[in-house]
Amino acid sequence: MTKSHILGFPRIGTHRELKKALEAYWQGSLSQLELEAVAQQIRRQNWQIQSDAGLDLVTVGDFAYYDQVLDMSALLGVIPERFGHFEKNVDLNTIFCMARGQAPLVKDAHACEMTKWFNTNYHYIVPELTQNQTFHLATTALFQQIDEAQALGHKVKPVLLGPLSYLWLSKTKNSEFNKLDLLEKLLLIYNQIFTELKNRKIEWVQMDEPILVLDLPMEWQQAYRTAYQKLDFQSLRCLLTTYFGSIKDKLTLVNQLPIHGLHIDTCSDSTQLAEVIADYPSDRVLSVGVVSGRNIWRTDLQKTMDGLQQAKNKLGNKLWLASSCSLQHVPVDLDQEIKLDPELKSWLAFAKQKVTEITLLTQALTKGSGTIAQALSDNQQALQLRACSKRIHNDLVKKRLIEITPGDSKRHSSHDERAKKQRKLLHLPLFPTTTIGSFPQTKEIREIRQQYKTGKMNHSLYKQKMQEQIAFVIAKQEALDLDVLVHGEPERNDMVEYFGELLNGFAFTQNGWVQSYGSRCVKPPIIYGDVSRPQAMTVEWASYAQSLTTRHMKGMLTGPVTILSWSFVRDDQPLAQTSLQIALALRDEVVDLESAGIHVIQIDEPAFREALPLRRQDWQSYLDWAVRSFQISACGVQDQTQIHTHMCYSEFNDVIEAIAALDADVITIESSRSEMELLKAFDHFAYPNEIGPGVYDIHSPRIPTTDDMFKQLEKALKYIPPQNLWVNPDCGLKTRGWPEVERALHNMISAAKLLRKEYREKTICTKECAHENA
């Protein structure tokens, strides 16, 4: 019989219960037992949703307090020495300290590096491996969760990150070595895990190997043959899961592996199904991911059924249906959206609804489409209404796209010429200091926004309250002696949602939260139609802020690629077209900011690298429209106006030329967790413009000393000329508290001043020596 399952379910809870419990625990207002009770309730609800919908297998092991890769490190005993030595079980607080650098009852330590999970907006904690790395089972959390689910009567399918993907996603620490040298030792622990699963009478285990969709070196492909021959599944049946791309180029390899089933993602590449089944081993299950785990649009049930018919005819009951990837990338439950426009709501499906779609498709394939006739009719009606809805299309927006000229994506002069004009206008010191945009979003700020949003506060009072918050932030920055200020963004709930609420073509949910990392959740907007800007979005706040200070104020915008990437995007036109629509709207805002006297404007693009396609063959097409989108948004200003951009945790080496092509005057990047390793991208590429590598990690509550940051800057100067180096935190400060922000920024500014003094003394010495020699 055709079976149904999912690869994972959101773990934050329907109303972000996990986020709230985690933050209460870290603040000391919730006990560990109370935290664990919240986690258990979320797991049980998730399992029940799957069971009630009729899935044949319930996924266990997808829950994590912070991150699933971090949990895998704990399971395998991969705990860096600075967090202590654990011969047996690693405790929850140590896991939190690895992620955050700080946790209850443990000593502060430098947090592990964090980076993007493939091309999503989810962040994982990067495992750190040493040349003499040992592995051992160091936590029983997975097995306890399996026992818990089985006690409730669920048919359990555990999920593990596979050994090759785990090694690939890791980093070597302290010395360079081949990570594959650790494979044999690692496999021994996986076999111990399989023994534990066998003892619990598990039938199927889901082995996630997402790196199979990448351009894997031959050495790693060969390692799959070696590794899976040595894995002892015993009585278990292994479902090898791939997602986020195609494995068409690795079918020979995959078909040779001693596995019992394969999962493919047909939402990312629908063409691979025909190639996979053409020569598919007859004794294997094929799980087909037909319901998207990355977007929130309803699945076209009829089209999906038609596309599966050939596979069903060939594979029979060996054909399984599933989500394309884990559903952790979509919100939990559309039923909670009681205020969403009914027409738009009828176009959508969140995690709970996607589970139902999978069971409906499974039922139709097994028993015939007549058994889901009403559901099929409702589905087709919603899809047809969406296709012909007048709210989607705007002829003026389409006309403006056609009228874009090559000159719209070019600044008037080269960066060297612009830099001269900007230095004359801005009068900034060597190693200028700034922040990335946001300051702490206090309880008071959130309450003001909530009262305004619910109509309990009129606009005049709201404006007054926001201006008071802006004035407070500016006074703080001046007292700290920052060089380029920001207004602090008190009016913004989120860097993408804020702009989406002010642009046409966007819609918003009440509870459409997804996890970004740890307790950090975001509520992505829904781009359903053509995008345009009805009026200025930030000019009033930036102008008011500038009126309060003689220092330069930085206008803050989110870039087109990031707005696109961090939204749920319409799937009825190319991404490039939607991106250009957003870029034109932002271009108008940039020009208006300049006209209002704002001479430094930051257009954040933290998603620029993360949105890069996973396969190199697809890179250039993406980079062409992504770079063009940024250029169009930024290039409407005069030479004197300094354009900044900001990018988050990413590896830049492969796209450094494209980043240079953005032609931003200043780029700030997150680099402190990697201890400036990311700057190696600039070692063999003479980046022409100015750079601000983050000198302290804002995702950790740990406050670095002045000496810590001074050393970071010294490392940065190995790659960046002094005249091009800016000093700034890694990212915005909205999630931090004021006491830690003030201390950290004080130390950062002190480090910049020490560096200025050192270079001033060097300059004087150099001039004196030159004079003496003359």
Active site residues: 699
Q: How far apart are CA 418 and CA 426, in angstroms?
A: 12
CB atoms within 10 A of CB 453: 12
Interhelix angle 141-151/183-199, nearest 10 degrees:
20
Question: Do residues 723 and 134 make contact, with C-beta atoms less than 8 angstroms apart?
Answer: no
Tokens of 230: 């040595």
Tokens of 9: 């379910």
Q: How far is CA 465 from CA 449, 452, 460, 492, 753, in A?
A: 10, 10, 9, 13, 34
Q: CA-based angle 202:204:210, to the nearest 5?
A: 135
Buried b (16+ CB within 10 A) or exposed e, 469-487: bbbebbebbeebebbbbbb
Phi/psi of residue 502, nearest 5 degrees: -105, 0
Find all residues with CB under 8 Å of 468, minimum gap 6, and list them: none
Phi/psi of residue 203, nearest 5 degrees: -95, -50
Q: Which residues pair with 603 in a beta bridge?
A: 557
User: Residue holding tokens 């021959």?
Assistant: 229
Tokens of 365: 């394939």
Amino acid (1-letter code) at residue 209: E
Question: Do residues 604 and 559 make contact, with C-beta atoms less than 8 angstroms apart?
Answer: yes
Find all residues with CB under 8 Å of 447, minimum gap 6, and list them: none
Amino acid (1-letter code) at residue 229: Q
Tokens of 700: 């950790």
Find all residues with CB under 8 Å of 211, minimum gap 6, and list them: 164, 165, 168, 169, 220
Helical H segments across 31-162, by residue range: 32-53, 68-76, 92-100, 141-151
Q: Which of 146, 162, 149, 241 is nearest to 197 (CA)?
A: 146
Q: How far apart are CA 536 and CA 588, in angstroms?
A: 8
Q: What is the DSSP string of 692-737?
A: EEB-S-TTSS----HHHHHHHHHHHTTTS-GGGB-BB-SS--TTS-
Q: CA-based angle 381:386:389, to the nearest 5?
A: 120
Question: Do residues 159 and 62 make contact, with C-beta atoms less than 8 angstroms apart?
Answer: yes
Q: Which of 659, 629, 505, 459 is nearest to 559 (CA)?
A: 629
Cα dihedral 238→239→245→247 (10° resolution)? 60
Q: Give the total residue count for the chain.
A: 774
Q: How far apart are CA 490 and CA 477, in angstroms?
A: 15
Q: Which of 696, 698, 700 is nearest to 708 (CA)?
A: 696
What's the half-sphere exposure (Cβ side, CA atoms, 13 Å) at 159? 24
